[in-house]
Structure 1
Amino acid sequence: MTTTNPFDDTRSLLVSLYMTLVGYGVLVGIPVISSAWVTLLGFSEVEVGRVAGADLGGLSAGAVFTAVIIARMNRRLLIVLGISIAVLANGLCILFVDYDQVLWLRLLAGFGSGIYTATAVAALGARSNPAFAYNMMLFAFAFSQALEMQVLPLLSMNGIYLTFIGCFLVTLGFLNWIPAYANAAPIEILQPDGGQDLVKPLAAYLPWLGLTAIFVTYINIGAYWTYIELAALSAEVDPVWINKVLVWASFCSIIGCLFATLLSNRFGLGRPLLVTLVLMAVIVGMLANGITDTKLLVSVFTFNLLWIFIDVYQMSTVASVDTTGKFAALMPGAQGLGQIVGPNLAASLLGEDLGYQAVFMMCSGAALLGMLIYAGLYLRLRSTPQFSTPVT
């Protein structure tokens, strides 16, 4: 039996990819946006962590909200709802610039973005080969990240908000490309030998364990990516050099996607991710001893390379143990929740005058904890076809 999957349509893939780039725009551009909050609005380093945490925490809340209702609600209406909230909140940020006002408005903007993003990620996860879709998404991030790092510093704070508003509104012209509902029937998945088989259900806690690993990993990613530019400026690294490093490091994502595909085809998902998380802990922890031009270059370039590895493997793993779309929609929620905790933990450490040394040590510890959680998942799944068979 073959069930036609509407999410396999190329138009659905294209608009979903665009939506993920827009929806994750704040996450990807947070180093530049954080600096803009400091230089253009006068926020302190601690306040930046709180605002970033609110924005990305809203993303998490929106994703959780979407996961609860996506199975029974028209996805196009969900997208319109998310766009409406995000556009309203970003517009109000132009009018209200005090810290307390911006804090709550960024939470609201993140919530709208979370609805929008989770719907797009769920659409990618609903494809017959979700790992390919996620790899395409992360490949596209390399170019969107480079573009943001190059363009956003040239804009005023209002210009940044208006850019996000415009990108959200473009989606309205392509709503019909997103299927309104998923098929109720199970979808047959192509296997590497060319045959077909239905994905067999696994223990209910396994997707939750995968989401927990994503959450913990994003504590590291959120704190590091929020504060890396401010930490480098604090260490008196040349701002021009910092900008060049951030722009060109984004292209490491391309290399990361290619290597992630090759390694997963050779070794599956588990072992490469375990090694990647250990390497991530090392390269973020190395900055605890101080930041120089060379160390910044090595750390940021390697961070971007490994970030893509981690996302490809983690998102593909969750997709391989879930075909309902529920957990795919929750992935931005897990990422966003980590983005709440990471910047806020970092802000608290800075508020206690422990400095960026403590921030980067915390980042390293979070990466190692994520590795330990994922090791448990790996031990449970290594004998299952969905996990041991290459899925990219």
Structure 2
Amino acid sequence: MRHLRPVTAVALSAALLTAPGIATLSPVYAASSATTVATANPDPAALKARIAALMPKGDTATKRALDRLISEPSSIDGTQYQCGPTEFAAWQKRSTANWTADDFTILDNLGAFDLPTYDALVDGSENDPAYALRADAQVMTKTMRKLEKFWDIKSDDIQLMAMHGDMLRDTARTSRMYQIAYELPKAQADELAAILAQYIAQPKFEYGNHPMFTLNAFAFTTYGEPIEGVGVVGDRIVMGDGILRAYREMGYGDVAPQAILAHEFGHHVQFELRMHDDHPSPEATRRTELHADASAAYFLSHPRGMSMQIKRVTQFLRVFYSIGDCGFSSDGHHGTPLQRERAGNWAYQLQESARPKGRILGSVEFARLFDAVLPRLVAPDARAA
């Protein structure tokens, strides 16, 4: 994702699935605004009109500052590469099969796909139960401890936390994000929060717990500098409930939490090495994403890392493959599935050939070797017509 100093952050997953035109069940959250739409099934046109009247007409300075943490334009020539729909994309389509085009439009206009991320960026803390790891907490905590010992960077200041979709039912938290990110007056923010809480209180959205609302994981730093409208945010890794659930449902639950966390920690290695270009480009983004993939594969397969055997290595390479995307002209292109798989394979072979066995390469040396092989990893591979 975009790397603009002093604010830097990286997200793991591809962009949200778009519809045409754009679990555990909880009690219905009561709308608290007298002016909000009162019916359980409001007219979509009226609801969209009311949301449009309440939301700002353009992006605010604070929202742009936050979005620099989670987005970046891309313009790589996709005709040069083999690329196609992945298992991950198919899962997204299946998981939203009963959502309508109006649902996507209304939720997008309300910022529902962004609010959990903004909330974790602005207010998240690993010491706050609201951001505590839930599923896979034990394995991720263990993996984090190993990562901190494995890589030779300063990492004792990195907080590990989660983002949960159920924050969308908490009108106080969503109102706060509307006020901060969208710079809205409290009365408007409160009304939007009430509309969102009421709309999200449907079984098909799992009352906010649907994985589409937290289908990502992030690593970010501000290098100690403030974010406009927010202030200084400490180094952290945020794991979305949605991305973890998606891979459990695809059959990778025993490996995806470690692989995703190791990938995000790889971005913190990059932060410490200042690997991010001051002038971001699609190629620079792809480089850092593939480096994070390689860093994860190296750690997960290394005997002094997670020491995964070849069967498990194959599994996490598949995780990287399925997250790859073909969005050459969309935000945050992370590399094609084949490129991500190649990066992981290269790192696995690197540790397999190490002598003496068990030696851990320093982060600087690993980055040097990766950059040397990168042209081969991203070489055009389109089949001749």
TM-score scaled by structure 1?
0.27
- Greater Rg, structure 1 or structure 2? 2
- Which of the pair is proportionally richer in strand? 2
- Which of the pair is proportionally richer in helix? 1
TM-score scaled by structure 2?
0.27
